[in-house]
Structure 1
Amino acid sequence: MAQAFKRFMPLADRILVQKLKAEAKSAGGILLPDSAKQEMNQAKVLAVGLGRRNQQGEIIPMQTKVGDIVVIPRYGGTEIKLDEEEYQIYRDEDIVGVIKEE
């Protein structure tokens, strides 16, 4: 079965992301209870729209691409559920930053 998010195409300058899961273990290898896990503000970009248009009608390119790991705001975005999986939709300008690999 194909992944549900592949059927979803964001419009304009919107981005479909899925939050990364918090670590279940501490750096020392201790299992953390759910109450101790902090909600991650990082997400993986799964789909991007074409971009928004400026006043001249030209498309402004997106700042993110599929596969990027991004920092998302703690609040905001639109939640969507596709085949029991939870995703979030943000505007390109709402993304705080992209985490680059070393």
Structure 2
Amino acid sequence: MATATKKKAKVTLQPLGDKVVVEREESQTKTAGGIVLPDSAKDKPSRGTIIAIGTGKLLDDGTRGSLQVKKGDRVLFTSYAPETITIDDEEFLLMSESDILAVIE
């Protein structure tokens, strides 16, 4: 008897325009005093690493404006802005470049 195996295909995200895909950094599991935090008490950090960028904002003259950030940049972003996307049990954030507040160097 033959069985069909389902091969998991790797999904890639290609954001459009001035959108970026960010992987959020892990939240702290312990306080400075050593208290272990449950998942419900953890703050979702508003920083992460850019894993994909779009082609840039479409300008009035038909050209594309380049993005100020690049793949691999660690960034701070507004906490209310990102759209959460889950792919293969991994969580990613999709946001506009304007929602990024700073690049961490």
TM over 0.5: yes
More helix by share: 1
| Partner residue in 2 for 1:22 | 27
Q: Confirm whether residue 65 of structure 1 aligns to residue 70 of structure 2.
A: yes
Aligned CA distance change for structure 1 residues 23 and 2 (closer, same or farther; 3 Å): farther
Aligned CA distance change for structure 1 residues 35 and 79 (closer, same or farther; 3 Å): closer
Could you tell me how far apart the structure 2 residues matched to 1:46 and 1:69 are? Answer: 10
Per the TM alignment, residue 56 of structure 1 is displaced from its structure 2 partner at its CA by 1.0
More strand by share: 2
The secondary structure found in structure 2 opposite 1:96 is strand
Match for 2:61: what amino acid?
Answer: Q
Per the TM alignment, residue 3 of structure 1 is displaced from its structure 2 partner at its CA by 5.5
Larger radius of gyration: 2
Aligned with residue 10 of structure 1, among 15, 29, 33? 15
State TM-score, norm by structure 2: 0.80
5 Å-filtered alignment, 1:11-90, equals 11-27=16-32, 29-90=34-95
Residues 30-69 of structure 1: per-residue CA shift (max 9 Å, x gap): 4333344322010110100110121111211101111111
Number of matched pairs: 98
Instruction: Give aligned-pair identity as a percent.
Output: 35
Match for 1:9: what amino acid?
Answer: Q
Could you tell me how far apart the structure 2 residues matched to 1:97 and 1:3 are? Answer: 30
